[in-house]
């Protein structure tokens, strides 16, 4: 399998699990309706870990443009591979979101709340404040990238490092995810947002494009800062 296909399928897998749990919690007549934040954050964390376990041996399982760019910026990844990795991540995110739409196909018409439908696909802030929302995404992604690199310094049994990254994502969601829904990944947010815009979702509203730049730019800045600080410390 090529690294392009591994990043595509890996990102599709994490979005399928991540957006899937949000759909289960938010959409009417789902068995998981009102499951709550702990259910969402746990499934997102384990979804990323499962995708990384499967595809990590092939591509390194970046699955996130912020991580790919951060690694390249400190010389831990080739810039020549960055465009193909990011393209694969966005295509995979759109594919994963489309599979979620198909999985919950009868439930969209049963759900009147347009905001809930959009929330299945992408993030939105609890309080709309451009500076505050941007800072939140920068901090969350800084912790993600710095944490992934830091965990890589520890000797662990095969596969345990991936589990540790899953725990890192879980704690980011629980501790830092409340303000914005912790995109911390441009592909995870923008890819499904594009899917929301183009798919024939029953009763959907707008795709909130005025907010869409924040979960793209914030994670890229945070990822760069996390990588640079790590390179300075270690």
- Rounded average pLDDT over 41-69: 98
Q: Would the pLDDT of 1 be above 90? A: no
Q: Would the pLDDT of 72 be above 90? A: yes
Domain span including residue 173: 3-233
Express each pLDDT in 101-155 by its tens digit: 999 999 999 999 999 999 999 999 999 999 999 999 999 999 999 999 999 999 9
Q: What's the mean pLDDT when you consider all of the chain?
A: 98
Tokens of 169: 């994502």
CA-based end-to-end distance of the chain: 33
Tokens of 153: 């310094």
Per-residue pLDDT at 232: 97
Q: Would the pLDDT of 61 be above 90? A: yes
- Rounded average pLDDT over 40-54: 98
Per-residue pLDDT at 189: 98
Q: Would the pLDDT of 54 be above 90? A: yes
Q: What is the CATH number of the domain that holds 160?
A: 1.20.1080.10
Q: What are the CB-based long-range contacts (under 8 Å, 24+) for 104-110? A: 104/20, 104/23, 104/24, 104/27, 104/30, 106/29, 107/23, 107/27, 107/28, 107/29, 107/30, 108/27, 108/201, 108/202, 108/203, 108/204, 109/202, 109/203, 110/27, 110/28, 110/29
Under 8 Å between Cβ of 7 and 41: no
Express each pLDDT in 175-219 by its tens digit: 999 999 999 999 999 999 999 999 999 999 999 999 999 999 999
Per-residue pLDDT at 70: 98
Per-residue pLDDT at 191: 98
Q: Domains in the chain: how many in total? A: 1
Per-residue pLDDT at 182: 98
């Amino acid at each position: 399998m090529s690294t392009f296909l591994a990043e595509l399928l890996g990102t599709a897998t994490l979005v399928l699990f991540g957006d899937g749990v949000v759909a289960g919690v938010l959409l009417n007549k789902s068995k998981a309706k009102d499951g709550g934040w702990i259910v969402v954050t746990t499934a997102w964390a384990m979804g990323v870990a499962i995708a990384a376990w499967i595809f990590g041996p092939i591509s390194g399982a970046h699955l996130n443009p912020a991580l790919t760019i951060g690694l390249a910026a400190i010389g831990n990844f080739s810039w020549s591979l960055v465009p193909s990795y990011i393209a694969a991540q966005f295509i995979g995110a759109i594919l994963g979101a489309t599979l979620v739409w198909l999985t919950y196909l009868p439930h969209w018409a049963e759900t009147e709340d347009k905001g809930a439908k959009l929330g299945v696909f992408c993030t939105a802030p609890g309080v709309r404040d451009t500076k505050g929302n941007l800072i939140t995404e920068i901090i969350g992604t800084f912790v993600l990238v710095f944490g992934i690199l830091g965990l890589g310094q520890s000797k662990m049994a095969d596969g345990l490092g991936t589990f540790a990254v899953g725990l890192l994502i879980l704690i980011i969601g629980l501790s830092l995810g409340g303000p914005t829904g912790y995109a911390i990944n441009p592909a995870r947010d923008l890819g499904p947002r594009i899917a929301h815009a183009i798919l024939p979702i029953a009763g959907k509203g707008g795709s909130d494009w005025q907010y869409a730049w924040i979960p793209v730019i914030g994670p890229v800045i945070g990822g760069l800062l996390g990588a640079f600080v790590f390179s300075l410390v270690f």
